Structure 1
Amino acid sequence: MAPIHKLWRSYSQAKDFEHEISKPEERVLLILRAHPITNTGWLLMGLGLFMLPLVFGNYLTSLGLSPNQELFMIVFWYAFVLSYLLGRFYLWYFNIGVVTNRKIIDVDANNLLNTITTATIVPNVEEVEKKSLGIMSSFFNYGDVHIETAGEFPSIEFLKIPHPSEVVKIINSNMKINGRSNPPS
């Protein structure tokens, strides 16, 4: 299992990382996922849901339920909260972007059973732009990166990723190395 400080990492300049479609001459430059601060909403929601039985415990006992029924309701509630938190963590952890010296790959996990993988080769990249999302994104330095392509898929998006300006610079320099340059916006 990965150390906890690596588990929450959302911007990695990868060394020695291999993926299932890599070739020997291919190097992974970046592994990206949404900034950890974007998880604050669902983590606070989970904390609130976790505390709910403690706050309304007296109300539950006033319903006249047997101790077994109360225990069942509490266990069911905490199982629901845990499944909510695990589901949200899964969506954050497995929505990743990978930038190699040859390809750009976007993996979108919509739920446990539905994952969409989009990939393009660097020569198909037409334009790369970043979008800031407001005060919070400016303060914590995260935003969206949109990549327009000439390939089968018209665009690839990395949403709420840290250091979007750095990501754009790395992709643009990779485009120049591969014989493409980003047209001025």
Structure 2
Amino acid sequence: MTAFSAYLESPKNVSFESQEKGETILFLLRRHWFTNIRWVLFGALLLVFPFFYRIILSGDTLFSSLPYKYSVVGGIIWYLFSFLFILENYLIWYFNVYIITDRRVIDTDFYGIIHKNVSEAPLRNIEDSTYDVSGIFPTIFNFGNIKIQTAAEAPEFEFEWVPNPAYVHDKLNDLITYNVKKFAGRHR
């Protein structure tokens, strides 16, 4: 597993905090890498902006009259906020995780360093699942959404912009069918 993996099938040496004994992770999914392009480009623009600013506005400006030490402090603050912007967006992407195990589906929504929401549903409670791939880039790069309807506490799960949605959806339906047969005649 790398720091930029968006699709892992049967990952080794990976676990999560509420994993039960003997539970096997079948898929660990994050949003497709392409969905990060906007904040990555904006972060890169933030990092190179001071260089272009000095080149373009090298003449007499409000900032050219500032003492050098103020320019240095301003640059440090600029890069600190730029780095924090990039780090926060990366962490939000990295910790928004969708997990499919041999027993349940788990949707972890990470909203920043101080808030996350974890929803889960046993496979036997899944009533329906669909996927969609819509748009030019999702079609070209093969990513889309998987929607899961459940009879659990969280009535709907949405795995947003995940890689290989058709394949993951097919495997999830195979698991659901297997669990329906396995638990046939038992009370939910």
Q: Could you state the TM-score of these two structures normalised by the residue count of structure 1?
A: 0.90
Is 118-127 or 56-65 further displaced after alignment? 56-65
Deviations 1:81-138 (A, max 9, x none): 1110001101100000010010100000011111000000001101111111301000
Q: Contact (CA 8 Å) 2:11, 2:28: kept in 1 or not? A: no
Asked if residue 127 in structure 1 is aligned to residue 136 in structure 2, the reply is no
Matched, 1:57 2:58: no
Query: Which of 1 and 2 has greater Rg?
Result: 2
Corresponding letter in the other structure for 1:62: T
Q: How does 1:39-78 map to 2 (within 5 A)?
A: 39-57=36-54, 59=57, 62-63=61-62, 64-78=65-79
Match of residue 115 from structure 1: 116
Higher mean C-alpha displacement, 155-164 vs 60-69: 60-69
1:23 corresponds, among 17, 20, 26, to 20
Separation (CA, whole Å) in 2 of partners of 1:124 and 1:157: 15
Report the secondary structure of 1:129's partner residue: strand
Q: CA deviation at 1:56?
A: 1.1
Shift of 1:24: 2.6
Counterpart CA distance in 1 for 2:25 and 2:70 is 53
Q: What residue in structure 2 maps to residue 82 of structure 1?
A: 83
Quote the residue 2:97 is aligned against: 96
CA distance in 2 between counterparts of 1:76 and 1:12 reads 37
What is the SS of the residue equivalent to 2:111? strand
1:138-177 equivalences under 5 Å are 138-177=139-178
Q: Give the alignment partner of residue 11 of structure 1, picking from 7, 12, 16.
A: 7
Distance in 1 (alpha carbons) for counterparts of 2:97 and 2:76: 33
- Between the aligned residues of both structures, percent identity stands at 27
Q: Normalising by structure 2, what TM-score?
A: 0.89
Work out the number of aligned pairs and report it: 176
How much does 1:25 deviate?
3.0
Unpaired runs of 5+ residues, structure 1, are 181-185
User: How many Å separate the matches in 2 of 1:112 and 1:24?
Assistant: 28
| 115-124 or 55-64, which deviates more | 55-64
The alignment partner of 1:179 has SS state of helix
Distance 2:15 2:112 in 1: 24
1:20 CA drift (Å): 2.2
State the AA in 1 paired with 2:78. Answer: W
Give the stretch that moved more between structures: 17-26 or 150-159.
17-26
